[in-house]
């Protein structure tokens, strides 16, 4: 009797949604609590995100008669990361464009102040040019795209490590 590999889609949708909800909850908590950065919240978020990916890969392994190759683990992890990244990107765009647009202005002001502090000899023209370049990367669209890219890189690393630990080729 030949073994049939289960579909990755339901696992990716389920665990990707969990991961996205975790990211969205982090953004909302930081907004409501008026925190820019919080290492405790970030650390908890990273640990829970790792657990979500590991449980997703484990769910696939269980559905696959306890067989898991490294390639399958990476496929599952990246599928979870794509779903989580897209959902998070959509929310982060709405968050930074409509709910909390002043965050971007605060980041621009912080960048400006750091530039002045670190380079007191810069001319006004140099400062203006540097700020115009940094403004390209300080907008809600860039934050959204970077959340997708970050999710993919994170998912690849976690699924690679989890796959190496959990692989079971028969």
Domain assignment present for 76:
yes
Domain assignment present for 117:
no
The residue behind tokens 């203006």 is: 128
Number of domains in the chain: 1
Domain assignment present for 122:
no
Hey, what are 75's tokens?
């496929």
pLDDT at 8: 96
pLDDT at 141: 92
pLDDT at 148: 95
**pTM flag (> 0.85):** yes
pLDDT at 2: 66
Domain assignment present for 23:
yes
Residues spanned by the domain of 74:
9-100+145-166
Domain assignment present for 113:
no
- 100 within 8 A of 29, measured Cβ to Cβ: no
* Distance from C-alpha of 61 to C-alpha of 159, rounded to nearest angstrom: 13
H-only helix segments in 64-137: 70-94, 102-118, 124-137
Q: Could you tell me the mean pLDDT of each successive run of 10 residues in the chain, 170 residues long?
A: 84 98 93 83 94 98 95 97 97 93 87 86 85 86 93 98 91
Domain assignment present for 96:
yes
- 80 within 8 A of 158, measured Cβ to Cβ: no
The sign of the dihedral angle between the CA atoms of 51, 57, 59, 62 is: negative
* Distance from C-alpha of 92 to C-alpha of 90, rounded to nearest angstrom: 6
- 89 within 8 A of 145, measured Cβ to Cβ: yes
Domain assignment present for 119:
no
Domain assignment present for 43:
yes
């Amino acid at each position: 009797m030949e073994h049939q590999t289960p579909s990755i889609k339901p696992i990716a949708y389920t665990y990707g949604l969990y991961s996205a909800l975790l990211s969205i909850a982090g953004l909302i908590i930081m907004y409501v609590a008026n925190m820019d950065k919080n290492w405790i919240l970030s650390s908890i978020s990273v640990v829970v995100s790792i657990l979500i990916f590991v449980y997703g890969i484990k769910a696939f392994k269980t559905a696959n008669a306890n067989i898991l190759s490294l390639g399958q683990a990476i496929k599952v992890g990246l599928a979870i990361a794509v779903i989580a990244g897209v959902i998070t990107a959509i929310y982060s765009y709405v968050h930074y464009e409509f709910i909390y647009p002043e965050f971007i202005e605060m980041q621009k002001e912080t960048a400006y102040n750091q530039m002045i502090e670190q380079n007191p000899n810069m001319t006004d023209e140099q400062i203006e040019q540097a700020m115009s370049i940094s403004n390209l990367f300080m907008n809600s669209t860039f934050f959204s795209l970077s959340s997708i890219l970050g999710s993919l890189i994170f998912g690849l690393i976690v699924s690679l490590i989890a796959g190496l630990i959990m692989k079971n080729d028969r």
